[in-house]
Chains A and B, each alone.
Chain A
Amino acid sequence: MLAKLTGWLLLGVVRLLTGAQARWYGCPPKAEQRIYFANHQSHADLVMIWAALPEELRSITRPIAARDYWANTPFKRWITTEVFNAVYVERGGAPVVPSAPAASASTKPAVPTLIPTERIEPSMDPIEPFMIQVPPPAPAAFAVKAVQLPLIALPGTEPDASASSAATATASDAIASPAAEAADPLAPLIEALTSGDSIIIFPEGTRGHTGEPQKFKSGLFTLAQLFPDVVLVPAWIDNIQRVMPKGEVVPVPILCSVTFGAPIRLEEGEERRPFLDRARDAVVALRSV
């Protein structure tokens, strides 16, 4: 009851401040299972896209929330779980190098300071082991094991929202070790998808400063492989960074909109990087609609 009331109140405030306008360009709002993926500029993105969805979809769509921001006070934790019905994901594990200040919760790979260059795909095709169709009511643990493979078998790629720096360091024998399993950031998402909910994800993994979305991380690709029947809908959240720039606490009223585009799908045998770039382009293309 209290959660519902808070939801209504928050919705009113968000509408008054931003208009929270949803623009369905590429697909109608429909109650099918979907993965919405959007650009990420502000913590308020989560609230924005939640407010833009129509009432009927809001109850079956679960946004993801970064645990280190949305669960650091009891109130935030309550509102994230009770009102948004969000899925917590980890980002930015404990830095291995203690001298590195943990001030920014950005997802810096712990060891190399440079952004890892794009790796050439190994010849041993890593896609094969988990082309197994995961039946929807599969136990989550099984799915998690399958997902472990790409994270582990491809060291040196962008660490995936990476608490798996430890795992990437010891690449070979960490398969499905309990530690890695706990560190797998995708597990809660897979759980939510398996139970039939739609989810909202931000594949950049971190908030951008520039307005240009950063490179997408591979989580989206993995989810697209595991759940081929779920519709992938790109979304562009416009103007939200002006409402609440990083480091400000008081929002200012500026009209925002969430534009939903035409669904994309993982083509047969499509590689990881091309797919992620295509997904990113689909999101960016919505900016000028």
Chain B
Amino acid sequence: MNQFLRDLSPAHQVAALFLLVFGVLAIVSTVTFLISLRERRNAMHSESWRRELKVFQQLLSTTWFMVVMFWIGWALGEGVATLLFALISFLALREFITLSPTRRGDHRSLILAFFVVLPIQFILVATARFDLFTVFIPVYVFLAIPVVSALSNDPHQFLERNAKLQWGITVCVYGMSHVPALLLLSFPGFEGKSAFLVFFLVFVVQTCMVVQHLIARRFAYSPLDAGPRMWRWLQREPFAPNVSRSFNWVSWAVGMAIASVVGALMSFITPFGYGQALAMSLIACVAGSMGHLVMKALKRDRGIPNWGPKGMGVTGANGLLDRVDALCFAAPVFFHSVRWYFGV
């Protein structure tokens, strides 16, 4: 079996990978759907359990969406994939800016961010100008945005407004643009398989986030109601309750460990060795989960439950940024670690 897979052409290998992922997803979705049907006919579980199921179904649908996107991107070539990520980046930045208080004086800077910086950054990715693509936002845009702001003659909260805009651009545009950049890395002996690298990164980071999410949900800390003894070590107090009510080092470490092992097991689809894949997954997961925490702090600061359209929080629908923020932080770190270590 293994030999058979190794003998396939790169394109066939990628196709096989997608087949596998779609298969797993289809099975999980079917099971979930059947459970929800059964629940609808005669409820066996409590209200909270049903809510959990809803949340899980949402996660599942997001995953479906992501995988289909990847598949389209891979099937239609790197240009289309880059375009897809540019669109995601646009929508994420739109959410971010919506929830940051901007004033009339920011209008020109916002136009610059959306209609100049974002396209240029992704064009640089698509044309593989790595040196410029790495410094374009941190150097040139970092200076250009405040200049445009200053010219608009509005000093009110100048630093804060500009910092927010810079932050939005760094996370949503700079971070996101490193995902399609992985497609362009050329490892010797790994030609035509860069899609695997993107898949590897996204899969590992998503695994880490989902595991942490599930642990936090399942073993929520409550001082009165300690669970069974064997799971008590997972029910820790939140480490920074003002920022995140679910984050604690233990569940975080468990998420890290599981995701890194998954990454190591997937090492055969990457150009990395076993240990290298483990280390790379660890780096990506640390960056991703910490980035998620940072974005949570930003949300707390704005006083909102999640990104996305106002008032959707009560209906339970989340914004796009909640889904991709970990990826935005993980991608640049992962990309530059890989480039530095392998010298590609």
**Residues of chain A lying within 8 A (CB to CB) of residue B90:** 253
Complex alpha-carbon distance, A21 and B104, angstroms: 23
**Cβ–Cβ contact A255 & B311, under 8 A:** no
Q: Which residues of the other chain, A, contact B102 by a CB distance below 8 angstroms?
A: 242, 254
Of the listed residues A250, A254, A289, the one surrounded by the most CB atoms of chain B closer than 10 A to its CB is: A254
Interface residues of A in 1-29 (CB under 8 A from B): 19, 21, 23
Q: Counting CB contacts under 8 A, is A239 at the interface?
A: yes
Residues B104 and A238 in contact, CB atoms below 8 Å apart: no
A245 within 8 A of partner (CB): yes
Which A residues touch B115, using CB under 8 A? 250
Contacts of B93 in A (CB 8 A): 253
A250 close to B111 (CB less than 8 A): yes
Q: Of residues 200 to 254 in A, which have CB atoms within 8 Å of B's CB atoms?
A: 238-239, 242, 245, 248, 250, 252-254
Q: Do A257 and B311 have beta carbons less than 8 Å apart?
A: yes
B220 on the A face (CB < 8 A): no
Alpha-carbon distance between A239 and B99 when the two chains are bound, in angstroms = 10
Q: Which of A23, A248, A252 contacts B311 (CB 8 A)?
A: A23
**For B111, what are the chain A residues with a Cβ–Cβ distance below 8 Å?**
250, 252
Q: Are A252 and B310 in contact (CB under 8 A)?
A: no
Expressed in whole angstroms, the Cα–Cα distance for A250 and B116 within the complex equals 13
| A21–B97 CB distance below 8 A | no
Q: B94: CB under 8 A from chain A?
A: yes
Q: How far is the CB of B257 from chain A (nearest CB, A)?
A: 38
Dominant secondary structure at the A interface = loop
Q: Within 8 Å CB of B97, what residues of A? A: 252-254
CA distance A245 to B107 in the complex (A): 8
Contact among A248, A255, A259, A289 for B98, CB-based, below 8 A: A255
Query: In the complex, which residues of chain B have a beta carbon less than 8 angstroms from the beta carbon of A255?
Result: 94-95, 98, 308-310
B293 is an interface residue with CB less than 8 A from chain A: no
Asked if A253 and B94 make an inter-chain contact with CB atoms under 8 angstroms apart, the answer reads yes
Contact B98–A252 (Cβ < 8 Å)? no
Q: Inside 8 A of A21's CB, which chain B residues have their CB?
A: 309
Count residues of B near A (Cβ-Cβ below 8 Å).
17
**B5 smallest CB distance to A (angstroms):** 41
User: With A254-B94, A254-B97 in contact, is A245–B104 under 8 Å at CB?
Assistant: yes
Contact bitstring A173-191, B, C-beta under 8 A = 1, else 0? 0000000000000000000
The residue in chain B whose Cβ has the minimal distance to the Cβ of A18 is B94
B107 pairs with A19, CB closer than 8 A: no
Chain A residues positioned under 8 Å from B114 (CB to CB): 252-253
For the complex, is B262 an interface residue (Cβ under 8 Å from A)?
A: no
CB within 8 Å of A: which B95-112 residues: 95, 97-98, 102, 104, 107, 110-111
Q: In whole angstroms, how far apart are the Cα atoms of A255 and B93 in the complex?
A: 10
**Which chain B residue has the least Cβ–Cβ distance from A242?**
B102
**Distance (Å) between the CB of B314 and the closest chain A CB?**
10
Assuming the A-B contacts A19-B309, A23-B311, A257-B309, are A239 and B107 also in contact, with contact meaning beta carbons closer than 8 angstroms in the complex? no
Query: Shortest CB–CB separation between residue B327 and chain A, in angstroms?
Result: 21
The winner among B90, B104, B309, B310 for most chain A CB atoms within 10 A is B310
Give A254 to B96 CA distance when docked, in angstroms: 9
Give the residue among A248, A250, A255, A257 with the most B Cβ atoms within 10 A.
A255
Residues of B within 8 A of A245 (CB): 104, 107
Alpha-carbon distance A257/B308, docked complex (angstroms): 11
B325 vs chain A, min Cβ distance (A): 17
Chain A proximity of B170: nearest CB distance (Å): 18
The minimal Cβ–Cβ distance linking A245 to chain B, given in whole angstroms, is 5
Interface string of B189-231 (1 = CB under 8 A from A): 0000000000000000000000000000000000000000000
- Decide if B110 touches A239 in the complex (CB within 8 Å): no
Q: Find chain B residues with CB under 8 A from A19 CB.
A: 94, 309
Q: Which residue of A lies closest to B109 (CB)?
A: A252
Report B67-120 residues with CB < 8 Å from chain A CB: 90, 93-95, 97-98, 102, 104, 107, 110-111, 114-115
Please, how many angstroms separate the alpha-carbon atoms of A252 and B93 in the complex?
11
Q: How far is the CA of A239 from the CA of B90 in the complex (A)?
A: 18
| Chain B residues with CB below 8 A from A23, complex form | 311
The chain A residues found within 8 Å of chain B, CB to CB, are 19, 21, 23, 238-239, 242, 245, 248, 250, 252-255, 257, 259, 289
Known: A245-B107, A257-B309. 11 other contacts (CB 8 A): A19-B94, A238-B310, A252-B107, A253-B93, A253-B97, A254-B94, A255-B94, A255-B98, A255-B310, A257-B310, A289-B311
A-B contact pairs, 25 of them (CB 8 A): A19-B94, A19-B309, A238-B310, A239-B98, A242-B102, A245-B104, A245-B107, A248-B107, A252-B97, A252-B107, A252-B111, A252-B114, A253-B90, A253-B93, A253-B94, A253-B97, A253-B114, A254-B94, A255-B95, A255-B98, A255-B308, A255-B309, A255-B310, A257-B310, A259-B311
